[in-house]
Amino acid sequence: MAKLIDGKAIAKDIRNQIKNEIRELKQNYPNFSPRLAIIQVGGREDSTCYVRQKEKAAKEVGIEFMLHKKADSITESELLTSIRELNDNPTIHGFLVQLPLPSHINEKNVVETISPKKDVDGFHAINLGNLAKRNCEPLFLPCTPKGILELLKRSGIKISGKHAVVIGRSDIVGFPVFTLLSRSDATVTLCHSKTENLPELIKTADILIVAIGKAGFVKGEWIKPGTVVIDVGTNAIEDSSKQSGVRWVGDVEFSSASAVASHISPVPGGVGPMTVAMLLQNTVESAKRFLQESRERDISLLPLKLLSPVPSDIDIASAQTPKPIKVLAEELGLTPSEYELYGKYKAKVNLSVLERLKSKKDGKYIVVTGITPTPLGEGKSTTTIGIAQALGAHLRKPTFACVRQPSQGPTFGIKGGAAGGGYAQVIPMDEFNLHLTGDIHAVVAANNLLAAAIDARMFHEKTQSDKALYSRLCPPKNGVRSFAPIMLKRLHKLGINKTNPDDLTSEEIQKLVRLDIDPDTITWQRVIDTSDRFLRKITIGQSPTEKDQTRVTGFDIAVASECMAVLALSTSLADMRERLGRMVIASSFDRGEGIKSITADDLGVGGALTVLMKDAIKPNLMQTLEGTPVFVHAGPFANIAHGNNSILADKIALKLVGVEEGEEEEKCGYVVTEAGFGADIGMEKFFNIKCRTSELVPDAVVLVATVRALKMHGGGPEVVPGKPLPEVYIKENLEMLEKGCENLVKHIQNAKMFGLPVIVAINHFITDSIAETELIRKKAIEAGANDAIPSSHWEFGGKGALELAKSIVKVTSSSTKDSKEEFKFLYNLDRSIEEKIEIIAKEMYGAAGIQLSDKAQEKIRSYTNQGFDKLPICMAKTHLSLSHDPKLKAVPKDFIVPVRDIRASVGAGFLYPLLGEMQTMPGLPTRPCFYDVDLDTETGRVYGLF
């Protein structure tokens, strides 16, 4: 008699191995959790039985199981939609659709819609095709064929050199078994229902696999003595002795075959249990693959073709072909549902990534700031990108750069593009500098909707009675009146706890419908993303239809809108909704109950603003010239706002370069983010405003300095955009440079005040001498900097910033003191408004004190009464001096900072004192940058952008 191949026992052994493997993986990676899903269409009894078996086995070994039951009547389109949802669900590692399906659904379409990466049944054409190709490996082997091979191997049966006969040519069993046996070096004959002389062919088999679907089809006399028989058939035949009325038999006549075969698998208890075991094994392999991919983050790089002299920025950018952003997204481990393509080279990343990666430890967090710059800037953006290219492309550390989106005002005005420079840029440079994905346009739309709502509300309140206003604000629908949710919010604010519009008294109606906006207190202006000095002050309401409701207002540049600051400081979509709704736009007239702040939600427009900006909250994914990832997101004005890219971009990037619990610290990546203007502005606001909200603490500060800026602080002549640099800036002058280093020293001291290590990046220009660079390095180290490194990233890309990147790695390594424990804010929020302003002025600027105007003092009293005094301070001052006066260079002494006014950005969450006249709408120069910008109409290439 043949030896029984006990599939039950072998499958049980495999399940135990899987269970132990999952337990061990969970010990090393606590969040490792394999998940299997099954879609079952209809209620066929056999399908339900099979699904239960799979569910029981999955739960037994520690695989989470999800069953999606669908009605028989489901359409093919609806089923395919459900499959795509599981494809896009990053928590599901494998799934299958239980077959067979109702006749109106095409099984081929269903199987081919399942992602090959989650096709744990192994039926997808890509997996079957790779199985058939000799030098390819499928992601998954079909479960039954894989189980058959496992039965043979675990039973000690030699396959190599043997003659195998496979009966049945289905895609589920026959063809895959044929291929797997061939791969194991057997000589294989594939037979089917139309094969002639089948008994004679079967007689030649050393190994016989039968999957033809006919009960007892193969007889014992057809089988050569000593043959190994694997019976795949499961056929129900009537048997009155059984309680169910049927018994299950295979495709081989067991009684006669077992008398001649050396080994035989029984039915049931042979192949069936193995199929389920292999499904579990495939699911675990898939989960391990997903885990590995999330850890590897292997970014393909773009080689640089360095030219000398260095061409223009746009020529360099145009000469580099970016990789498709879809490729970069996949390299980062993003699933298709986690990003949205905007053309070939840009994508938005969904906030859901944060939830999926919440268990990851954040990467290293580096903030790039600078000394007090010349009007030309000192290359913070270029340095940020250069560091990211060095860390990512040359040291092969997972690295993200996070930068702001530039306004088109400066792009077409004085400054030009802001994608970095030279061989350290974000590409495509033209798309970066222009519309990108429309975030700034969304800010413009939201800002101007709110502006229109303000004037419209004042118009309607002036021209209508309380009753008329109420009937229009709360109209009946189908004879029933109800409050909009945003109106209920205002009622609650007013202390009116009623939900039925018919229950309000005339006094309550008046409170609800009358905002009583005082036009003289309106702080909200319209915005446009163009530099246009003639919009700084305008008169509106001049049409006869406005009924003499004229008032003077103006336009700001789009990035000066509080909506942009809110976008940058929001930590979630819900948080952005709350912030937009609480933006204060004016105060009410005092009608005997005191002056009240009027918010966007009071106007009923907070929800609409959020709808306009719902896509803008998603960070924009781009790449550097060397193919490393960049988030470009938000661009708040660095004077009246905090001048940093978004919290959400930094948070997502930190997770994407972070490590799982149990991974080596050395695999931890880096996020390099930039703070606008000098360290006295951008860095101070980064710490005291952005870090308070994000609860993130950087690992180090990189302070960018240049020879030319330090010479300016040492007494050099004025630097004017558009004019050639005076000769002193391009020739060695150590005396002037040494004097100017006082500014560098003060900024190092400012950064050290927050308790973090400081690395000075000496942004090298080709006119800088070795002696000048060494002098800066010496002064920086003496002032307490952890290191000072010259960097030539503009000229050489990431390679030019390699030593700087190595210094960052060394300073932030785990072997050094944990700087995050030393981090501290400059002031406590419980301090008074005046005290907080004074602390910043004295500590950051070196002022002797502050002087508050009468207007500023009145604002302090008003904001304190309204409960805004606990907000952080966002100083609005010139970036061209440590002081309030742009003419005072180096490190001014004994000056008093005048505070002429204080304004509130309650939605963004800060107060901003005005230390001088802050220009929130740039003007165009005599020769704007747009003179050089044009388009090659044949190729579509932009040139002259910068």
pLDDT tens, residue by residue, 433-484: 889 999 999 999 999 999 999 999 999 999 999 999 999 999 998 889 999 9
Does the pLDDT at position 49 exceed 60? yes
The pLDDT score that the predictor gives to residue 443 is 98
Confidence band, pLDDT 50/70/90 cuts, at residue 415: low
Closest CA to 808 of 910, 931, 668: 668
Separation CA 253–CA 34 (nearest Å):
40
> Which residues are catalytically annotated?
54
Tokens of 670: 């880096």
Residue 174 has pLDDT above 60, yes or no: yes
Q: What is the pLDDT of residue 520?
A: 93
- pLDDT at res. 423: 97
Question: Pseudo-torsion of CA 189, 195, 197, 203, nearest 10°?
Answer: 30
Among 309, 307, 336, smallest CA distance to 320 is for: 307
Are 3-290 and 440-613 equal in CATH topology? Answer: no
The 8-class DSSP code of residue 721 comes to T
pLDDT band at 359 (very low <50, low <70, confident <90, very high): confident
What pLDDT is recorded for position 682?
95
| Element spanning 580, H or E | helix 573-581
> In a 10 Å sphere around its CB, with 0-12 CB exposed, 13-18 middle and 19+ buried, how is residue 173 labelled?
buried
pLDDT of the residue at 302: 97
549 by Cβ neighbours in 10 Å (0-12 / 13-18 / 19+) ranks as middle
Task: Kindly state the average pLDDT of the residues 72-82.
Answer: 97
pLDDT at 386 over 90: yes
Contact 930, 884 (CB under 8 A): no
Q: What pLDDT sits at residue 572?
A: 98
Q: What is the pLDDT confidence band of residue 746, given thresholds at 50, 70 and 90?
A: very high
pLDDT at 52: 95
Domain limits, the chain: 3-290, 313-437+615-822, 440-613, 833-914
d(CA 713, CA 710): 5
* Model pLDDT, residue 188: 97
**How many Å apart are CA 741 and CA 891, to the nearest integer?**
9
Q: Is 816's pLDDT higher than 60? A: no
Model confidence pLDDT, tens digit, residues 19-29: 999 999 998 88
User: For residue 938, what pLDDT band results from cuts at 50, 70 and 90?
Assistant: confident
Does the pLDDT of residue 661 top 80, yes or no? Answer: no
Number of helices (H), then strands (E), in the chain: 33, 37
* Cβ(761)–Cβ(383) below 8 Å: yes
Dihedral-angle region of residue 168 (phi above 0 means left; psi in -120 to 50 means alpha; beta otherwise): left
For range 74-78, the mean pLDDT: 97
Model confidence at 416: pLDDT above 70: no
Question: What's the whole-number mean pLDDT along residues 577-600?
Answer: 89
Q: What is the DSSP letter of 367?
A: E
* pLDDT value at residue 592: 62
Confidence (pLDDT) at 942 = 84
Q: What is 313-437+615-822's CATH topology?
A: Rossmann fold (3.40.50)
> d(Cα 91, Cα 742) in Å, to the nearest integer?
55
Which pLDDT value is given to residue 498? Answer: 94
pLDDT tens, residue by residue, 253-288 = 999 999 999 999 999 999 999 999 999 999 999 999
pLDDT (0 to 100) of residue 932: 80
For residues 413 and 369, which has the higher predicted lDDT (pLDDT)? 369
Confidence band, pLDDT 50/70/90 cuts, at residue 92? very high
* pLDDT tens profile 864-922: 999 999 999 999 999 999 999 999 999 999 999 999 999 999 999 999 999 987 788 88
- Cα–Cα dist 147/165, whole Å: 17
Q: What are phi and psi of 377, to 5 degrees?
A: 80, 160
Q: Closest Cα to residue 707, out of 682, 688, 725?
A: 725
Residues in the chain: 946
The pLDDT tens digits of the residues spanning 481-523 come to 999 999 999 999 999 999 999 999 999 999 999 999 999 999 9
How many angstroms separate the CA atoms of 488 and 497, rounded? 9
Q: Which helix (H) or strand (E) holds 386?
A: helix 380-389
Task: For residues 350-354, give the mean pLDDT.
Answer: 96
pTM for this one?
0.90
Going by the DSSP 8-state scheme, the letter that residue 921 receives in this structure is S
Question: How close are the terminal C-alpha atoms of the chain, in Å?
Answer: 86
Domain 440-613: CATH architecture, name and number where available: 2-Layer Sandwich (3.30)
For position 819, what pLDDT does the model report? 58
Model confidence pLDDT, tens digit, residues 300-319: 999 999 999 999 998 999 99
* Residue range 837-863, pLDDT digits in tens: 999 999 999 999 999 999 999 999 999
Can you tell me the distance from the alpha carbon of 576 to that of 245, in angstroms, rounded to the nearest whole number?
65
Contact between 237 and 247 (Cβ < 8 Å): yes
Poorest-pLDDT segment among 152-156, 255-259, 291-295, 710-714: 291-295
pLDDT band at 122 (very low <50, low <70, confident <90, very high): very high
**CATH, domain 3-290, list 3.40.50.2300, 3.40.50.720, 3.30.2130.30, 3.40.50.150:** 3.40.50.720
Burial classification of residue 18, based on how many CB atoms lie within 10 Å of its CB (0-12 exposed, 13-18 middle, 19 or more buried): buried
Structurally, at CATH architecture level, domain 833-914 sits in Roll (3.10)
Counting residues of the chain whose pLDDT is more than 90, the rounded percentage is 83
Residue 161, Cβ density class (10 Å: 0-12 exposed, 13-18 middle, ≥19 buried): exposed
Query: Which residue do the tokens 């660079």 mark?
Result: 773
Q: How far is CA 445 from CA 449, 470, 553, 609, 787, in A?
A: 6, 27, 18, 8, 45
